[in-house]
Amino acid sequence: QEWQQVGVRASARTVRPRLLNNGLVSRRAAKKPLLSKKNCNLYFPRLCDYVLVAQKMEDMEDQIFKKQDAFICELKQKNIKVTKIEHAGKVFFGVCAPEEIFAKYKYLLKVSDACNWSGEQKIRIVHFKVALYYLWLGWYTRMLVPAAVIGIVVFLYGLAFFNTSPLIHEVCDSNITMCPRCDLRCSVWNLSDTCTNAKVSQLFDNEGTVAFAMFMAIWATLFLELWKRHRALHVSKWNVFDWCEEEEELILEIVNNPQCKPKEFRHSYLRSIVVLLLVTLVLVVIIGLAHALVICRVLTAILLSQSEWEFFRDHATTIAMLSGAVLHYITIQVMTRVNKIVAFKLCEFEKTRSFAATEKRFTVKMFTFQFFTLFSSLFYVAFFLGRINGYPGNYVRIAGKWRLEECHPSGCLTDLFIQMAVILVLKQTINNIFEFTVPWLKLCFRRTKAKKMRRKCGNCYRKACREEEGNLNLCDLCKLRSWLDNYDLNDVNAFSLFNEFLEMVLQFSFTTIFVAAFPLAPLLALINNIFEIRLDAIKMVSLERRLVPKKTNDIGVWTRILEAVGVMAVIANGLVIGISSDFIPRLVYRYHYGPCATSNSTSMDCMTGYINNTLATAFMSKDKVREDFKHLIEIGYNITQCSYKDYRNDEDQSLTSQFWLILALRFAFVILFEHVVVMCKFIAAWFIPDSPIRVKNDRLDDKLRRLKKELQEANAIYNSRCTEV
C-alpha cells in the first residue's frame, strides 16, 4: 500500500494523472454486504490498489503519451499488474501490486528500529493522518464542554447584575452633554443615549471576565497535555508509536528501487534570508489591509453621521463597526486564497528535501498569514481603538481630515465583542454551508451525466460474488462501474486534510485569544464542532475521493502551533483585561477615589460616580477647541462645554495623576497576570506526563517480547551452524 504511494507520486510528476479512491469500492457499495452470510468473515478481495486516469491521446508521438507509456512499462517490469480500460475519452489504468512487494515492505518494517511492527500483523490500508485528525477533533470538541459551561456562567454573572449595576444606572440616568463624534453634521449628545451600549458592555466586562481569562489560558495547556496522553494511548494501539518518517521514506525507496540513494539534507542561508524577507513583506501587506479597514470604518461612520436618515445618524458608530466586521470577513475569504498561492510559491522557492518537509513549511507559512489576516483588525480594536484618537483641540486625523474612532464611555470591549461575534458566526456558518453543499452539488451533477453508463452493467457484479464465492473476475464494464463510482466523486489533493486542520486551529485561536472579550466563543465553537465533525465525515466518506493513505503518529507541526497559540492567548488576554477593559480603573476608583475610599459612608455604593470620574471637560472658550467644533457654532449651537472620556485636567487638558496611577497598575497587572498564568501552565505541563503509565509499560513489554523472539531466532541459527560443523 505504501509502495504504491511512491508510484503514484512518480506518475504525478510525469504523467499528471488523476488518482481514484484506494480500494476501488464506492462509498455506497461499501456499506452493503457483497458476500453471502457463510462467507461474511472473509475480506473483500483486492481488485486494484490504485487507478490512474489520463486523457486519451490519439497522437502516439506526443510527449505526454510517451511519458504515460514509459511509466506503465516501468510498472509492468516490476511485476505490477496493470488493467487498461478506455471510456469517454479517458484511459483508466488499474494498478495491482504483487504480494512480494508487500512482503518486502513488511519485512523491512520488522527489522527497522523505529517501527513497532510484529510479524503476525496484517497489512491494512489505514490513513493515520485522517484518523488522528478525527481523534484530535473529537478530543477538542469534548474539551470545549467545560470551557463553554464556564463561559455561560460568566455571561449569566454579568446578566444577573444587568439591572442593578450602578454603572448602568449612572449612564442611563445621566444628563451629561458629550462632545460630537465627528466634525461635520455631528452635534453634541447626551450620555444617556448610549444606555443600551452600557448594558451590553456590562455583560462582557465584569469581574468574572478576569477569572475566565485565567481559566482559558490554563485550559489551553490542559487541553494540549491531555491530548498528548490521548494520542499516545491510541498510536500505541495502532502500533505506530515509534514510527519514524525518515525510516519509512527509506523503506519505500528501497522497495521501489533497491539501488536507490537517500536524498540528502540541504540548507541554504541565502534562500532562508530571501524567504524571511518575502514573508515579512507579505505580513506588511496584510497589516496594511487592516489599516485600510480602519480607514473604511472611519469613512463609513462619517458618511452615516451625515445621512438624511435619523436612524443612521444616531447609530453611525455601531453600524460602521458591524459593516467593518463584515468587510473584514470578506477580506479574510479573499486573502485565504491569496495566502495559499503565496505560501506555495515560497515553498517551491525553498526546494525542500521531501513532500513532508514541504507540507510542514507550508503549514507554518499559511497559518502565519491567516493568523495575521484574521487578527490584525482585532488587535487594532483591542489595543489601539480610542487610545490614539486625541482629545478636543488636539484630535488625531487621517490625512489631516478625518478623525479616528472613539470608544464608548463604558469601554472599548463592546466593539471587540461585536467584531469577534460577527467574524466567528459568519466564518463558521458560511464555511460549513459551502464546504458541504458545493461538493454535494458537484457530485449530483457528475452522477447525472454518468447515469446512462451505469445501467449497462446489470447485476453481474453480485452474481459473480454469489457463484464464485468471492473469487471475482469481473468484466470491464463491472470494473469500470466500480472505478467510475469513485472517479465521479470530488477531487482531493495532498492538502485537503490541511484545510480541515487550518480551519479548526484558527477556531482554537478565536476560542482562546481575546476570549476575555467574548466568553461565549467556546460555546459557539462547541456548537459548530458538533456539526463539523459529522459534515467532515460525510464529505470524506460519501462526497470526496479517498486521500492517499499515509502513516504518522502525531498531528505534526500543528502541535507546536497550538502551543504557540496558547502562549499568545496568555499575553493577549492579559493585555485585554489590563489595558482594554475597565477592570483596573474600576479597582482604582473603588479603593482610592470612590466614596468608600474617601468617606466612611456605607449607604452609598462604592462605584457611585465612576462614570463622571472617567470624563474630562472641554470648554469652548479655548481657541483650539472652538476650531475643532466650529461647525456647531456655525449652525447655531450655543454650548459652553462638553465632556469626553479621558483623565485630563479641565483647565489645560494635561494628564492627571490618576491617569499615571492607572497606567502603572495596568502594566503591573499584565506582568503579574502573565507570570501567574505561565507558572500555572508550566506546573500543569509538568504534573501531567505526555504518555500514560499503561502505554509505557505496554511498550516495555512489547520490546522485551520482540527482543526475546529475536534472541530465539539468533540461537536457532547459531545452533544449526554448530550442528553442520
Check whether 554 has a pLDDT greater than 80: yes
pLDDT confidence of 472, banded at 50, 70, 90? low
Q: What is the mean pLDDT of residues 585-613?
A: 81
What is the structure's pLDDT at 473?
Answer: 57
- 32-36, 288-292, 435-439, 529-533: range with highest mean pLDDT: 529-533
Residues 70, 15 contacting (CB under 8 angstroms): no
The Cα-based distances of 281 to 72, 276, 460 in angstroms read: 45, 9, 61
Higher pLDDT, 549 or 618: 618
d(CA 679, CA 682): 5
6-15, 281-290, 388-397, 657-666: range with lowest mean pLDDT: 6-15
Residue 665, number of CB atoms within 10 A of its CB:
16
Q: Tell me the average pLDDT across 392-409.
A: 77
Q: Which residues pair with 55 in a beta bridge?
A: 90
Between the alpha carbon of residue 419 and those of residues 197, 288, 320, 414, 424, the distances in Å are: 14, 18, 11, 9, 9
Quote the cell numbers at residue 608. Answer: 457611585
> The pTM is what?
0.81
CB atoms inside a 10 Å sphere around CB 521: 26
- pLDDT of 26 strictly over 70: no
The three-state secondary structure class of 81 is strand
Nearest to 586 by CA among 666, 655, 516: 666
**What confidence tens digit (pLDDT) does each residue in 631-674 have?**
776 666 777 888 888 889 888 888 899 999 999 999 999 999 88
Contact in structure between 636 and 608 (CB atoms under 8 Å): no
**Span 388-405, average pLDDT:** 80
Q: What is the pLDDT of residues 282-341, one digit of tens each?
A: 999 998 888 888 788 777 777 777 677 777 766 677 777 778 778 888 888 888 889 999
Contacts of 437 (CB under 8 A, 6+ apart): none
pLDDT, mean of residues 94-123: 68
Residue 117 CA: distances (Å) to CA of 69, 124, 481, 489: 37, 12, 37, 34
Give me the residue spans of the domains in the chain: 1-23+42-97, 693-724
124-138 pLDDT tens trace: 555 678 889 999 999
Q: Which three cell numbers stand for residue 330?
A: 470578506
Query: Quick one: pLDDT at residue 281?
Result: 94
CB 12 within 8 A of CB 67: no
Contact 489, 468 (CB under 8 A): no
Give the pLDDT band (50/70/90) at residue 78. confident
Q: What is the pLDDT of residue 184?
A: 67
Establish how many alpha carbons lie within 13 A of residue 58's alpha carbon, considering only the half-sphere containing its beta carbon.
1
Residue 725's pLDDT is: 55
Helix, strand, coil percentages, rounded to 5, for the chain: 65, 5, 30
Determine the Cα angle at 392 with ends 386 and 395, to 5°: 60
Asked whether the predicted pLDDT for residue 504 surpasses 60, the reply is: yes
Residue 449: predicted pLDDT? 62
Q: Rounded mean pLDDT of 376-390?
A: 82
3-state secondary structure 405-460: CCCECCECHHHHHHHHHHHHHHHHHHHHHHHHHHHHHHHHHHHHHCHHHHCCCCCH
Alpha-carbon dihedral angle through residues 281, 283, 285, 287, given to the nearest 10 degrees:
-140
> Residues 185-233: pLDDT tens digits?
677 888 888 887 788 777 777 778 888 888 888 898 889 989 999 998 8
Residue 99 has pLDDT above 80, yes or no: yes
Report the distance separating Cα 491 and Cα 313, nearest Å.
Answer: 50
The CB density around residue 635, as the number of other CB atoms within 10 Å, is 9
Q: What percent of the chain has pLDDT over 90?
A: 11
For residue 278, what pLDDT is reported?
Answer: 93
Quick check: 77 pLDDT over 90? no
Instruction: Determine whether 651 is exposed, middle or buried from the number of CB atoms within 10 Å of its CB (0-12, 13-18, 19+).
Output: exposed
Q: What is the pLDDT of residue 636?
A: 64
- Name the phi and psi angles at 397, rounded to 5: -125, 145
Q: What is the mean pLDDT of residues 513-518?
A: 84
pLDDT at 147 over 50: yes
Average pLDDT over residues 463-482: 58
Share the mean pLDDT of the chain: 78
Number of residues that make up the chain: 725
Q: Radius of gyration over alpha carbons of the chain, in Å?
A: 33
User: According to the model, what pLDDT value does residue 409 have?
Assistant: 65
